[in-house]
Structure 1
Amino acid sequence: MAEQSIGTLVSKIVDRWSWWRAALKNPAAIGKTLPVHDGDAQQGYYRAKNKDKSFDPVAIFYPEGSDELVAYRSGREVRADEVWSFCCRYPVSFEAYTAATEGKGWPDDDATVAAQVKPPEPTAGDNSADVDEAETLKDQIDAALKGMDAYKTIGDDATAAKALSLRNRLNELSNQADKIRAKLKEPFLEGGKAVDAKFQPLVKSAKAGADTVRNSIGAWETIKLQEQRRREREVEQARIAAEEAARKREPDAEVMEAPAPTPAPVETAPAPIKATYGKAASVSVKVVVDEVTDWQALAIYMCGHPTLQTALRDLAQRAIDAGRTNIPGIKTKEIAAVR
């Protein structure tokens, strides 16, 4: 009977580690095939996330000869049922737990991130009010950017996890800098808004009036240009008619080009417009698209232009994102998109 009792006790003690071992082997099973209940802590080694995204090492175990769980978080004794909800989804190996308690960090830590999220040691005479937030952030961002060299090529999941930590830190620093920027800029924005509210209506109304006058002048100059082109066509038609008449009179003779009729003086280019007030305005002849008569022909003609190619590629991607699969003229491939 005594041997059976000892065997049962040993089996019970060993089984106390079973949940942690299974969770360590397959973290995705936590909360599914490995149930999690508040207040029902499981013996093992874990880590608990802090507000600053760092992790504290956690040990939960039954002391020798005791049936009551004890727990330690970063060396401080805590209630097992309270720390359990913070650490249950982060099981770690005993070796990783030991390294963390010795201040060596976690195996999946990025060195730059670990150094930056660790609370700085207080120094004598330190006055946080004298610290330039921009300079502090710049130093941290520069250090994080230098750490990118380690992840130019990623060849395993452990390195990918470290790279993700660095990415998260860079995003965090970006958000911090943007929040400070917005806060410091706000007083100037409010003052700028007040100035805009006072003067922008004046700017816009005067500019709209100037543009309306410009368009009227442009319409008149277009009428003049069209009249000029009409006269030029008449002169050309008269020249052609004179040549044709000469050929009919002497069909077998070598016909010299007939002299063109003396046309009325025409302007070769629109003359500048001089105002009695302010600067003169130049007038140039510009050819503009009036309408598109064949979209397909135009697209084929312009398809070599980089701007159109970029637009077409973007439209094709939008169609793919919407679920279209019958898009001609493209090849697709699958990639892993990290969000």
Structure 2
Amino acid sequence: MAEQSIGALASKIVGPWAWWQAALKNPDAIGKTLPVHGDEPQQGYYRAKNKDKSFDPVAIYYPEGSSELVAYRNGREVRPDEIWTWCCRYPVSYAAYNAAMDGKGWPDDDKVVAAQVAPPEPTIGDNSGEVSEDEKIKDQIEAALKGVDTYAKITDDETSAKAQSLRNRLNELSGDADKKRDALKRPHLDAGAAIDKKWMPLVKNAKAGADKVKAAMEAWETTKLQRRREEERKAEKARLDAEKAAREQQGETAVIEAPAPVAPAEVAPAPIRATYGKAASVQAKTVVDKVTDWPKLAVYMSNHEECQELLRKLAQRALDAGRMNIPGITTTEAAKVR
């Protein structure tokens, strides 16, 4: 092995386990206050990630009476400088290392995840090859979901780490299922996209034309409706004026025997009958013209569930943007896992 650097030798003299012990206490310091150099592996116990996302136990140490480091990955000797950068960010305790070497897994392993990531070797009579891909993923998801209730309440960091393992596995399975779904669906989507590219412009152009005609028809029907309302107002005013004149002529105390006014019956606008195609119905409808007082409108609508949900989202967006002292809400600090 290449000659150790002065820094590595000094580390050995001062305390060969110092870097590893400090990393165990504060993993976030690795690469910061605990520098990592590819040619200066540090004595200790670690784990290295495999392609299947399982971990192998790693030991790096100076054998008794030797001045050169040795390294073992899952019991197989490897070069310390080659394994170092793969394992340095995953320090583990000596007890955890021994447990992993004995096949007991890691303390932060979720049992379901460990079983799925590193499944047992097939045995004689195993017919798993006959299981379809979707059934296999379905079985794994169902098995993983059974472990969710285990983490309904988390009270320590070790359990939280196991929960994160299960969360990662479920997200991984979700991603795998989505990739398979997309791969199977993609040809149909591409075919559908090709059809839409050809036909949707025709659909949209014709619909836009029809909507333009509809807007003109609605404008005309609105004009007719306004004229009718104006005629009704004039008729009502004439009736009131005649009643007032009768009172003035006979005296305020005179009793005028006249039938009580009857509100004109609401007559639905006549349908628009075309020589081609179906007739169009016309409905008189009260619509919002413009908002004259936004605060009053907001207060009036604030008991509506959709309005409340929108206001809640807007308030959270404002908080996320750093705005504070938003009226009408209380806040609390919560940890969000990403």
- TM-score above 0.5: yes
Question: Given the two structures, how large is their TM-score scaled by the length of structure 1?
Answer: 0.87
Q: Which amino acid aligns with 2:96?
A: A
SS in 2 for 1:335: coil
Decide whether aligned partners of structure 1 residues 26 and 291 sit closer, same or farther in structure 2, where only a CA change above 3 A counts: closer
1:338 and 2:299 matched: no
**What is aligned with 1:40?**
40
**What is aligned with 1:116?**
116
How far apart in 2 are the matches of 1:54 and 1:114? 8
1:336 Cα offset (Å): 0.9
Matching of residues 153-302 of structure 1 within 5 Å: 153-251=153-251, 252-257=253-258, 268-302=267-301
How far apart in 2 are the matches of 1:327 and 1:166? 38
Bigger mean CA offset, 35-44 vs 95-104: 35-44
Decide whether aligned partners of structure 1 residues 217 and 306 sit closer, same or farther in structure 2, where only a CA change above 3 A counts: same
Question: Given the two structures, how large is their TM-score scaled by the length of structure 2?
Answer: 0.88
CA contact (8 A) 1:228 1:266 kept: no
SS in 2 for 1:59: strand
CA contact (8 A) 1:271 1:283 kept: yes
Bigger mean CA offset, 201-210 vs 29-38: 29-38
Decide whether aligned partners of structure 1 residues 32 and 267 sit closer, same or farther in structure 2, where only a CA change above 3 A counts: closer
Q: Which amino acid aligns with 1:144?
A: A
How far apart in 1 are the matches of 2:265 and 2:157? 79
How far apart in 1 are the matches of 2:45 and 2:206? 73
How far apart in 2 are the matches of 1:267 and 1:51? 76
How far apart in 2 are the matches of 1:258 and 1:248? 18
Decide whether aligned partners of structure 1 residues 64 and 266 sit closer, same or farther in structure 2, where only a CA change above 3 A counts: closer
Q: Which amino acid aligns with 2:145?
A: L
1:29 Cα offset (Å): 3.3
Q: Which amino acid aligns with 2:236?
A: E
How far apart in 2 are the matches of 1:45 and 1:266? 91
1:57 Cα offset (Å): 0.6
Matching of residues 13-24 of structure 1 within 5 Å: 15-24=15-24
How far apart in 2 are the matches of 1:106 and 1:260? 89
SS in 2 for 1:57: strand
How far apart in 2 are the matches of 1:215 and 1:193? 31
Q: Once the two structures are superposed, what CA deviation does each residue of 1:105-139 show, in whole Å capped at 9, x if it has no partner?
A: 10011111111111452355879875522222211
CA contact (8 A) 1:47 1:58 kept: yes
Q: How many residues align?
A: 326
**What is aligned with 2:7?**
none
How far apart in 2 are the matches of 1:34 and 1:217? 76
1:25 Cα offset (Å): 3.0
CA contact (8 A) 1:238 1:260 kept: no
1:319 and 2:318 matched: yes
Matching of residues 52-91 of structure 1 within 5 Å: 52-91=52-91
Decide whether aligned partners of structure 1 residues 22 and 267 sit closer, same or farther in structure 2, where only a CA change above 3 A counts: closer
Q: Once the two structures are superposed, what CA deviation does each residue of 1:309-337 show, in whole Å capped at 9, x if it has no partner?
A: 22222111111111111321211111111
How far apart in 1 are the matches of 2:186 and 2:83? 41
How far apart in 2 are the matches of 1:259 and 1:153? 73
Q: Which amino acid aligns with 1:254?
A: V
Q: Which amino acid aligns with 2:320?
A: D
Unaligned runs of 5+ in 1: 1-11
1:329 and 2:318 matched: no
Bigger mean CA offset, 17-26 vs 290-299: 17-26
Decide whether aligned partners of structure 1 residues 289 and 39 sit closer, same or farther in structure 2, where only a CA change above 3 A counts: same
Q: Which amino acid aligns with 2:234?
A: E
CA contact (8 A) 1:239 1:258 kept: no
Q: Which amino acid aligns with 1:312?
A: L
SS in 1 for 2:311: helix
1:54 Cα offset (Å): 1.4
CA contact (8 A) 1:239 1:259 kept: no
Q: CA RMSD in A?
A: 2.6
CA contact (8 A) 1:110 1:163 kept: yes
**What is aligned with 1:29?**
29
Bigger mean CA offset, 242-251 vs 293-302: 293-302
Bigger mean CA offset, 64-73 vs 84-93: 64-73
Unaligned runs of 5+ in 2: 1-11
